[in-house]
Amino acid sequence: MKQAPVYSKDSGDNLVFKARNGDVSAFEALVVAHRSDLYRFALGMSGGNADIASDALQEALVKAFLNIRSFRGDAAFSTWLWRVIRNEIHAIYRKQKPGRLVSLEDTLEQPEDAAPGPSDQVLREERIRSVRYLVAKLSPKLREIITLVDLMEYSYEETAEKLGISVGTVRSRLFRAREKFSRLVEKYRELF
């Protein structure tokens, strides 16, 4: 069955063509190279809650699959995928208030499977959870910039490309995000 000629087999990107025709395996093959990074983004945005991040990313990828016809081939597939997933993650997390992504009680309690170990390891893990909790309290725009630059260690240029903004905007937004984070650290000093 032929497909309407917006994106055809002749383009050379057979996987995209197949995915546009509802081929799940083709879509999965397109996504596999990016899924770890996308998961880390969802994780950073969720305040480190792996269950929420996993569920949100799956939901976002299904949406991307259902809307793959909006990919017109005029940019790299990875660029399109990042923009779609980012928008979906924002939409999903907007339905949750920042503090509820990770509750403070979750932050202070040890996981059930935590083995008794050296106290500095336990303290380190507590600090990590506290940092992620505070990052989750930032507004979505500031949260994503800290996630990409400080938690995922993307360069300013890579971050700019993923967000579709200028490097200058990355710098100024990051400056504001770190300022805000500093104030939160001061406010929640007892966590550290």
Partner 1 sequence: MKRCKDIQSMLSDHAAGTLPGDGAEAVQQHLDTCPACREVQKNLELLSLASIGQEEPPESFDRQLHMRLAQAANSFSPAGRLAGQWWRRPSLAAAAIAVAFALGIAIGGGFMQMNDHQTNIDNGAMAHVTRATVETGKPVTVRLVFSSDEDISDVAFDIELEPGLEFATTDSEIAAMKVLQWDGDLKRGRNEIPFAVTVAKPGRWVVTARAQYHDATHEHRIVLLSQKDIENNVHAP
Residues that bind partner 1 (CB under 8 A): 1-6, 20-24, 27-28, 35-36, 39-40, 43-44, 48, 50, 54, 57-59, 61-62, 65-66, 68-70, 124, 127-128, 131-132, 135, 146-147, 149-153, 156, 171-172, 174-175, 178-179, 181-182, 185, 192
Q: Are 18 and 81 in contact (CB under 8 A)?
A: no
Give the Cα separation of 143 and 68 in Å (integer).
27
Nearer to partner 1, 94 or 189 (CB): 189
Nearer to partner 1, 100 or 127 (CB): 127
Q: Which two tokens stand for residue 29?
A: 């093959």
Q: How far is the CB of 170 from partner 1 (least distance, A)?
A: 9
Q: How far is the CB of 10 from partner 1 (least distance, A)?
A: 14
- Strands (E) in the chain, as ranges, are none
Nearer to partner 1, 109 or 179 (CB): 179
Query: Under 8 Å CB-to-CB from 34, ≥6 apart: which residues?
Result: 78, 81, 82
Nearer to partner 1, 44 or 89 (CB): 44
Q: Are 41 and 89 in contact (CB under 8 A)?
A: yes
Distance from the Cα of residue 25 to its chain's centroid: 23
